[in-house]
């Protein structure tokens, strides 16, 4: 089986912004893009993207999960990066149409079609370090993916990092490539020095997020996660999981969480922790590493509530449970 996200459909949807207007959508080959080596994106990182999925249901229908939320977040990232504003309806149609074009390629559960809308600045001007790109490309790439946990959902080991941040505080809520790149060094160090799978960034003791996912702590009937601000990504999977937790009658606390409180709660029997994201939905966390010491979270194994929340979200995505929040768009 090919690695997650390495297989692509042969075509993608694309629109361009030039001379103050957007083009009509085109369907083009997905193995290349053409723009100048002086393009703004290559020098000043004017790039943002989204990740969402389409699922095949038992009736054969294909449904996209929370497309509206992803389009809205890409518009927000676009605005915060000063890229040309796009028409949300045009992007939504691009997504639906390209998924529809390859609907027969959408895998059966637990697989899905991963959808990657991307917006990049293309103006050829290396003199615009302090000015936005006047032209851009908006495209939608598709990648059929299998089960993220094909090898089993092994609980993760997280290194708590209090001295650094994933990215600049005002950039945290932007889904931009540079934010991921800036976390690669600390993650590599954590893997080599502490045998950690990921870094949980906790600047000045404030528990935030990992390099590519939001962090959730579950203590009995309470779900605790950092309240939304500009310093970290406003995950759509995070929001979905919290909504389902509220549906179950759980207490959802979106607030600041300190490293001290996290480690105190982690040691209690029954406490769970997880990372939320599009690819893995909810990944259990078994161990926290802080100042050279290891702290098991609860039993150190995947928690029952974590697995339940993930299954409930999967059931909605796969059409096995009622979509009472209107999260699915039929292709």
In the chain, beta strands by DSSP E: 11-18, 21-22, 26-29, 47-49, 52-56, 62-65, 112-121, 136-145, 156-161, 198-201, 209-210, 214-219, 222-225, 251-254, 272-277, 281-290, 293-296, 328-330
On whether the CB atoms of residues 213 and 235 are closer than 8 A, the answer is yes
133 phi and psi, to 5 degrees? -75, 135
- Write down the domain spans for the chain: 11-145, 156-317
Same fold, 11-145 and 156-317: no
Report residue 17 as tokens: 């912004």
Residue 222 confidence (pLDDT) above 80: yes
Render pLDDT for 229-270 as a digit per residue (tens, 0 to 9).
Answer: 999 999 999 999 999 999 999 999 999 999 999 999 999 999
Asked whether the CA dihedral 292, 296, 300, 306 is positive or negative, the reply is: negative
| Cα separation, 243 vs 246, whole angstroms | 5
For the chain, the average pLDDT equals: 96
Length of the chain measured in residues: 331
Q: Mutual orientation of helices 304-317 and 236-247 as an angle, nearest 10°?
A: 110
Q: What separation, in Å, do the N-terminal and C-terminal C-alpha atoms of the chain show?
A: 27
- Measured from the Cβ of residue 101, the count of other Cβ atoms closer than 10 Å reads 16
Bridge partners, residue 276, by sequence? 214, 282
Residue 295 confidence (pLDDT) above 90: yes
pLDDT, residue 1, reads 65
Cα 207–212–17 angle (5° rounding)?
125
Share of the chain above pLDDT 70, in %: 98
CB neighbour burial string for 237-258, b if at least 16 within 10 angstroms, e if fewer: bbebbbebbeeeebebbeeebe
Q: Please, is 42 exposed, middle or buried when counting C-beta atoms within 10 Å of its C-beta (0-12, 13-18, 19+)? A: middle
Would you give the DSSP letter of residue 19? T
The architecture CATH gives domain 156-317: Alpha-Beta Barrel (3.20)
Residue 35 confidence (pLDDT) above 90: yes
| Cα separation, 280 vs 306, whole angstroms | 12
Is the pTM here over 0.75, yes or no?
A: yes
Residue 150 confidence (pLDDT) above 80: no
Give the mean pLDDT of 287-301. 96
On whether the CB atoms of residues 111 and 121 are closer than 8 A, the answer is no
Helix (H) or strand (E) holding 263: helix 259-266
Third-level CATH fold of 11-145: D-amino Acid Aminotransferase; Chain A, domain 1 (3.30.470)
Render pLDDT for 153-197 as a digit per residue (tens, 0 to 9).
Answer: 789 999 999 998 899 888 999 999 999 999 999 999 999 999 999
pLDDT, residue 147, reads 81
- The SS3 call for residue 201 is strand
Give the mean pLDDT of 201-211. 95
| Cα separation, 62 vs 112, whole angstroms | 10
190 phi and psi, to 5 degrees? -65, -35
Give the mean pLDDT of 16-22. 98
pLDDT, residue 169, reads 86
Q: Mutual orientation of helices 88-101 and 67-80 as an angle, nearest 10°?
A: 130
234 phi and psi, to 5 degrees? -85, 85
Render pLDDT for 224-239 as a digit per residue (tens, 0 to 9).
Answer: 999 999 999 999 999 9
pLDDT, residue 151, reads 64
Confidence class for position 77, pLDDT limits 50, 70, 90: very high
pLDDT, residue 314, reads 96
């Amino acid at each position: 089986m090919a690695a997650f996200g390495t297989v692509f459909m042969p075509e993608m949807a694309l629109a361009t912004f030039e001379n103050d207007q957007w083009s009509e959508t085109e369907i083009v080959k997905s193995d290349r893009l053409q723009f100048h080596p002086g393009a703004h994106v290559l020098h000043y990182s004017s790039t943002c993207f989204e990740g969402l999925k389409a699922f095949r249901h038992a009736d054969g229908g294909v449904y996209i999960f929370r497309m509206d939320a992803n389009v809205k977040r890409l518009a927000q990232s676009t605005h915060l990066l000063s890229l040309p504003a796009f028409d949300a309806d045009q992007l939504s149609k691009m997504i639906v149409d390209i998924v529809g074009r390859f609907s027969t390629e959408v895998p059966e559960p637990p697989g899905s079609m991963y959808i990657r809308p991307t917006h990049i600045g293309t103006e050829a001007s290396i003199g615009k370090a302090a000015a936005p790109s006047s032209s851009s490309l908006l495209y939608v790439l598709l990648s059929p993916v299998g089960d993220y946990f094909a090898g089993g959902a092994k609980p993760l080991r997280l290194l708590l990092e209090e001295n650094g941040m994933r990215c600049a505080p005002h950039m945290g809520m932007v889904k931009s490539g540079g934010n991921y790149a800036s976390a690669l060094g600390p993650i590599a160090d954590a893997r080599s020095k502490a045998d950690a799978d990921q870094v949980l960034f906790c600047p000045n003791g404030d528990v935030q997020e990992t390099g590519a996912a939001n962090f959730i702590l579950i203590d009995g009937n309470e779900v605790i996660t950092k309240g939304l601000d500009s310093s970290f990504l406003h995950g759509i999977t995070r929001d979905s999981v919290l909504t389902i937790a509220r549906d179950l009658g759980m207490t959802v606390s979106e607030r600041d969480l300190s490293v001290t409180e996290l480690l105190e709660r982690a040691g209690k029997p029954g406490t769970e922790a997880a990372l939320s994201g599009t690819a893995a939905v909810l990944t259990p966390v078994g161990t926290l590493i802080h100042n050279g010491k290891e702290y098991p979270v609860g039993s150190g194994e995947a928690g029952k509530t974590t697995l339940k929340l993930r299954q409930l979200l999967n059931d909605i995505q796969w059409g096995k449970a009622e979509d009472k929040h209107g999260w699915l768009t039929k292709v």
